Amino acid sequence: MKIAVYRLLFLAALIGLWWLASTQVARNLIPSPLATLQAAQRLIAEGRLGTALFDSLSIYLGGYAVAILVGVPLGLLMGTIRPLGKTLEIFVYALSATPRVAFIPLIIVFLGLGPQAKILIIFLGAVMPILINTYAGALNSDQELVEMARSVGARRQRIFTQIVLPGAVPFIIVGLRVGATIGLINTVVAELYTAVKGLGGLLAIYGNTFRMAEYFVVVLTLAFVGVIVTEALRFVEIRLGRWRRSEVIV
């Protein structure tokens, strides 16, 4: 309860600083909170914000889901099959260090400007932190506990489900959080570089025309989506934490 109060107080302070900045800087650069609220009401009434939000969420969740389906299993495989991990890790790190923007021209050439290209851009951004953190979590499994389980005749599948996987869960959650953030950023990037639609398209339109009240509405909407995704992952983390505690070798 105290944390919720602290968050509300901090939010109020941020709004106060925002209002103060809007009085000191030209209004065509920083709109007031009231002007931003009025712009949000107009965008909602016109249906622009809802349509753009739906377009962005559909490709964001699609790319993020594919990143999870690829990153988590591959990371676990690399961590449990050590030769495979040692073989692939140098290529994974090389791809992780390469700016995703560098792939956009090739993606557009092969996939065009449609949703498939956007989903691939989001996937490339989100999959690396998920894969690397899952790999690190699998490598971090308690080897003494693994050897003890083997000595009493535990099967490989049971060792994986009751030792390796529970130990990797905190690392996986961290990867999911980072991947969700980068995936959201890449959503805007994808919408700016390909067909100008969704929240990224609105950012381009309102930014180029200096309609800053509407621009702030879109930015705050993206921030709100990020908060929702983070809190959803926090809920998943709590549930998985209970599962980890319940998993024991018998």
The closest of 121, 30, 133 to 79, measured between CA atoms, is 133
User: Could you tell me if residue 2 is inside a domain?
Assistant: no
Note the pLDDT of residue 127: 92
pLDDT tens, 57-88? 999 999 999 999 999 999 988 888 888 888 88
> How much of the chain, in percent, has pLDDT values that exceed 70?
84
Q: What is the value of pTM for the model shown?
A: 0.84
Range of the domain at 166: 40-246
Place of tokens 């899952």: 134
User: Could you tell me if residue 219 is inside a domain?
Assistant: yes
Please indicate whether residue 133 or residue 30 has the higher confidence score (pLDDT). 133
d(CA 17, CA 22): 9
The closest of 54, 190, 28 to 124, measured between CA atoms, is 190
Note the pLDDT of residue 99: 81
Note the pLDDT of residue 230: 84
The closest of 128, 120, 142 to 96, measured between CA atoms, is 128
pLDDT tens, 133-190? 999 888 887 666 666 666 655 666 666 666 677 778 888 988 999 999 999 888 888 8
pLDDT tens, 115-133? 888 899 999 989 999 999 9
What's the structural domain count of the chain?
A: 1
Note the pLDDT of residue 249: 43
Which residues make Cβ contacts (< 8 Å) with residue 63, sequence separation at least 6? 118, 119, 120, 121, 122, 123, 125, 126, 183, 186, 187
Please indicate whether residue 161 or residue 205 has the higher confidence score (pLDDT). 205
Note the pLDDT of residue 59: 92
User: Could you tell me if residue 210 is inside a domain?
Assistant: yes
CATH number for the domain that contains residue 193: 1.10.3720.10
Tell me the residue type at 189. Answer: V
User: Could you tell me if residue 108 is inside a domain?
Assistant: yes
> 207 with 215: CB under 8 angstroms?
yes
